[in-house]
Structure formats: C-alpha cells, structure tokens
Amino acid sequence: MSLLVGLFDSGLGGLTVLRRVQARYPHSPCLYLGDTARVPYGTRSVEDIRAIAAEVVTWLRLEGVGVLVMACNTSNALALDVAVAQAGVPVVGLIDSVAAVIDSDRVGVLATPATAASGAYRRAIHASRPRALVTEVGCPAFVPLIEAGRLEGLELREAANRYLAPLLAAQVDTVVLGCTHYPLLRALLQELLPVGTRLIDPAEAAVERLGPLLASLGDLPESEQGQALFVAPQHSTRLCVTGCPDSFATSASTWLGCRPAVERVSLRSAGCAA
Ligand code: DGL
C-alpha cells in the first residue's frame, strides 16, 4: 500500500500545495485537512497557532499519514517544531524550501501577519543570501477575501495595492507568495507588479523535496523519481474540513476543476479540543 501524504491548512490555501503534490506524485494517496472552523490562522496569537498545529497534526497522525507536508506557512513559521514532535513521521516544510530558489538580493515576502511578524522567511533567505534585502509584508485582508470567494472586487485590488506599496518602494524583483492562499492571486499580483517581477510559490520547491523522501521510504514508482511524469493521475485524495463541507466543496471546485467530495471531521474524535 502507498504511503499516505498528509497536508493541512486553515482552509482553501493548502489546495495549491495539494495540486502540486497530486501532479508530481500521482500514485501517492493524500489526506487533506482544511481547518475551516478556525480560518484564518494568520491573525491568531502564536499560542493559538501552536495549539492548533498540535491538534491538527495529532489527528493526521492518528489517520495514518506516512509523511506530512506543511501546506500552511503560518503553522510552518510558528509551529514547525510542534508539527515535527507530533507527527512521528517526516515533515516537509515550505519556508526552508525557499532559500534554494531565491537568486536575488531584493526580495519581497507577502504573508499572513503572523508569518510576517515571525521573520521566518527573512531568516530562511538570509541563510543562503546574508546580504539580501528582505521586505516582509503582512496581508490580513487576503485570506478572508479568498475564503469568501471575493476575488474580483475592488476591495481585493485595493488591499493588494496597499500591500504591494512597500515592495515597490524597496524595488524588489522577486516576490515570495508566503501564504498558500496567495497563489490564487497570482494573476492579480503579477498585473500590479512591474513587468519581469518573479513570483515564487515555495510549494514548488517543497514538493520537489518530497520525492527523495518518498523514495527513501521505499514508496515512489520509478517514473516519479525523475523530472518527467508520463503516468496518468491515479491519486486518491480524501478532503476533510472542520467547518461546512458544502461551502468548501463549492469554493474548491473553482481551483480543482471539479466538485470534490468533502467530509466534515471532528478533531475531538482524535482526543483533540477542536
Ligand atoms: N494558508 C495559510 C498560510 O499559508 C493560512 C492562512 C490563514 O489562515 O491566515 O499561512
């Protein structure tokens, strides 16, 4: 039986990571938990974020995941140690994957307020580029607007202009999408940034790190160990939420291309508080 890849986020954002995992490793079954009862994470206290991560990761462990991908930057920034301690299986992070793909010294990071305040991206980038000027901006309006499906309105555009202003002032040429919801705003951000600005989704590098890990655990077909993928997708994915499954399925269908089956789960059943 194939190793179960576990992913979690507060809501829809982690689907951007899930899609990459599914495309790259079509034989790997995935279990995705969207903690929609508690979205957003990024404006919560550090204590909350750590307590939630402990609960969610405990639930995923009890569901039998064999490897965990942090599909949430906020949990990654503030509770990676908690996730590693609770998971009991290898954990792949987003933030420490980003340094390898940065090739500029003028970098902007868009993230949740909690991630931006943690300085986690700045530290990760400085580890390989100590002289890089890293401008981190917390974007509290983005996740609620994305979760509400309000991607077309003036409110989102105005928020984006506000959050991009410090990056334009710092003349960044590279922008890290430091929240897994933000790849859903890629087209808007690209339009508002100067032509040629590189947008980086850290999940791209993180998902590449999953391959060697799956292979070392004896769980990767030959065809998925190289760059080329010629196999038809055969993934089986279970999508779970702590909030309303119907509204999640409706929103997720926009991003996944079809309406998925979504289960509501109670983390209490795993002995957790949520
Ligand atoms: N998508 C998550 C992240 O990458 C959480 C966003 C939120 O709930 O605030 O940080």
Show which residues are catalytic. 72, 179
Say yes or no: 139 and 165 in one domain.
Answer: yes
Q: Which of 36, 56, 78, 143 to mutate to test the pocket of ligand 1 (most atoms within 8 A of CB)?
A: 143
Say yes or no: 114 and 194 in one domain.
Answer: yes
Q: How far is the CA of 50 from the centre of ligand 1 (A)?
A: 13
Give the tokens for residue 3.
């190793």
Q: How far is the CA of 37 from the centre of ligand 1 (A)?
A: 13
| Number of the ligand 1 atom closest to the C-alpha atom of 94 | 4
Say yes or no: 264 and 137 in one domain.
Answer: no
Q: Report the DSSP pairing between strands 174-177 and 198-200.
A: parallel
Q: How does residue 247 score in pLDDT terms, banded at 50, 70 and 90? A: very high
Q: Note the pTM of the prediction, 2 decimals.
A: 0.93
Say yes or no: 159 and 74 in one domain.
Answer: no
Query: Where a domain ends, among 203, 220, 251?
Result: 203
| Number of the ligand 1 atom closest to the C-alpha atom of 13 | 1
Query: Where a domain ends, among 179, 203, 227?
Result: 203
Q: Mean pLDDT of all residues in the chain?
A: 92
56-65 mean pLDDT? 97
Query: Where a domain ends, among 162, 185, 203?
Result: 203
Amino acid identity at 93 = G
Q: How far is the CA of 222 from the centre of ligand 1 (A)?
A: 34
Q: How far is the CA of 274 from the centre of ligand 1 (A)?
A: 18
Q: Residue 230 burial (CB < 10 Å; 0-12/13-18/19+)?
A: exposed
Domain that holds residue 151: 96-203
pLDDT value for 224: 56
CA 87 – CA 67 distance, rounded (Å): 8
Q: How does residue 106 score in pLDDT terms, banded at 50, 70 and 90? A: very high
CB of 143 shorter than 6 A to ligand 1? yes
Domain with residue 61: its CATH number is: 3.40.50.1860
Instruction: Give the helix ranges, DSSP H, for 172-260.
Output: 186-192, 202-216, 245-256
Closest by alpha carbon to 40, among 93, 92, 113? 113
Higher pLDDT, 231 or 222: 222
Q: How does residue 2 score in pLDDT terms, banded at 50, 70 and 90? A: confident
CB of 74 shorter than 6 A to ligand 1? yes
User: What tens digit of pLDDT does each residue of 124-159 get?
Assistant: 999 999 999 999 999 999 999 999 999 889 999 999
| Number of the ligand 1 atom closest to the C-alpha atom of 43 | 9
Q: What domain count does the chain have?
A: 2
Work out the number of other CB atoms within 10 angstroms of the CB of residue 256.
Answer: 17
CA-nearest residue for atom 9, ligand 1, is 42
Say yes or no: 28 and 80 in one domain.
Answer: yes
Q: Which of 73, 78, 97 to mutate to test the pocket of ligand 1 (most atoms within 8 A of CB)?
A: 73
> Any idea which residue has 């990071």 for tokens?
109
